[in-house]
Amino acid sequence: MINRGRRLRRDENIRALVRETTLSPDDFILPIFVVEGENIKREISSLPGCYHYSLDRLHEIIEEVRDAKVRGVILFGIPKTKDCCGSEGFAKDGIVQKAVRKIKEIDSNIFVITDVCMCEYTDHGHCGILDGEYVDNDKTLEYLCKIAVSHAEAGADMVAPSDMMDGRVGYIREALDDNGYKNVSIMSYSAKYCSAFYGPFREAADSAPKFGDRKTYQMDPANRREALKEVEMDLEEGADIVMVKPALSYLDIIREVKDNTIVPVAAYSVSGEYAMVKAAAKAGLIDEERIVMEMLTSIKRAGADIIITYYAIYAAKKIRG
Ligand code: PBG
């Protein structure tokens, strides 16, 4: 035997020297849920270890983010009222707009991304404006632009449209530029699949559709090449970063997108991925720390430059030791 693969696995020194993928706190973005009200830090039952924060307690999580050296957060808002066209989503004093200002006040160095979508703000729970029971694509675009511009106005560094309407990246880019926000970047949820892995999030954000499902706008989990088409359209329209979501069941898509683009690729390890690990760990079935690090490593190995994960602070702390 001339070749022995085990020579390079003999001890941690050589393993570290030949390691192809390493994680860094720089890789992560933490999702944060903000709510109206006062003195609220309430654990989200579907996402143990994650909380709803009111603005006056937002500093608690932002300080944790800063201490863990995580660079960015992505905000999701639970508004005080919902209506047919998601008015709170683009209100000047909407919950996300206020949260952006608050975070910049607490620490202007934290990179603030906002999720641009309508499902948390509409009374029907769909990601756009309805025409009967159909989500009207082009009408929705106007509203997404208002949301994105209002986030930029509040001080967001980047907006992340997650609605999956056609043409939204181009519309949002133009709206941002027209309003003087040419340096606010766009991370598009380009290949966002219609996934059951979003279940715990919909409870956290109270955003489940009241009827039907999201199959007419989110992608069919069976499709791979279509992801490249979505990515290509978004890049033509001016997306700075493209995202694949969910992550774990879509590692092949992450790799495909990585190999076919020259922009940074983000992956969203979604609520269902987090909740499954939490539940299995609680039941004593798995070693949470090792599972988390293995999952994140595999997402990065698949090609993700940025990983959005509810484990951002946890993993960043483990990496730094
Ligand atoms: C909004 C949005 C969703 C998620 C991110 N942005 C929910 C959905 O599309 O139903 C899911 C995030 C997660 O599950 O962690 N459209």
Q: In whole angstroms, what is the distance from residue 204 CA to residue 43 CA?
A: 10
Closest CA to 47 of 200, 196, 246, 268: 200
Residues 143-166, buried b or exposed e (16+ Cβ, 10 A)?
bbbbbbbbbbbbbbbbbbbbbbbe
CA of 1 to the centre of ligand 1 (A): 52
Task: Find the mean pLDDT for residues 295-320.
Answer: 98
Task: Find the mean pLDDT for residues 17-43.
Answer: 98
Q: What is the pLDDT of residues 113-150, one digit of tens each?
A: 999 999 999 999 999 999 999 999 999 999 999 999 99
The one catalytic residue among 82, 102, 245, 300: 245
- Residue 251 CB–ligand 1 contact under 6 Å: no
Q: In whole angstroms, what is the distance from residue 64 CA to residue 59 CA?
A: 8
- Count each helix (H run) and each strand (E run) in the chain, helices first: 11, 12
Q: Return the percentage of the chain with pLDDT > 90, whole number.
A: 99
The reply to whether 300 belongs to the active site is no
CA of 200 to the centre of ligand 1 (A): 9
3-state SS class at 263: coil
Q: Strand pairing of 306-309 and 28-35?
A: parallel
Q: 45 vs 206, which has greater pLDDT?
A: 45
CA of 205 to the centre of ligand 1 (A): 9
Q: In whole angstroms, what is the distance from residue 199 CA to residue 146 CA?
A: 27
Q: Is the pLDDT of residue 321 over 90?
A: no
The reply to whether 192 belongs to the active site is yes
Task: Find the mean pLDDT for residues 17-27.
Answer: 98
Report pLDDT for 317: 98
Ligand 1 atom at shortest distance from the alpha carbon of 164: 16
Closest CA to 112 of 143, 145, 70: 70
Q: What is the pLDDT of residues 47-91, one digit of tens each?
A: 999 999 999 999 999 999 999 999 999 999 999 999 999 999 999
Q: What's the whole-number average pLDDT of the chain?
A: 97
Q: How confident is the model at residue 172 (pLDDT cuts 50, 70, 90)?
A: very high
Identify the CATH number of the domain defined by range 23-320.
3.20.20.70
Report pLDDT for 35: 98
Q: How confident is the model at residue 209 (pLDDT cuts 50, 70, 90)?
A: very high
CA distances to 24, 59, 69, 81, 304 from 64, in Å? 16, 8, 9, 30, 24
CA of 249 to the centre of ligand 1 (A): 15
Report pLDDT for 127: 95
Q: Is the pLDDT of residue 280 over 90?
A: yes
Q: In whole angstroms, what is the distance from residue 242 CA to residue 234 CA?
A: 8
- Residue 127 CB–ligand 1 contact under 6 Å: yes
Q: What is the pLDDT of residues 231-278, one digit of tens each?
A: 999 999 999 999 999 999 999 999 999 999 999 999 999 999 999 999
- Residue 198 CB–ligand 1 contact under 6 Å: yes
Tell me the binding residues for 5-aminolevulinate: 202, 214, 271, 310
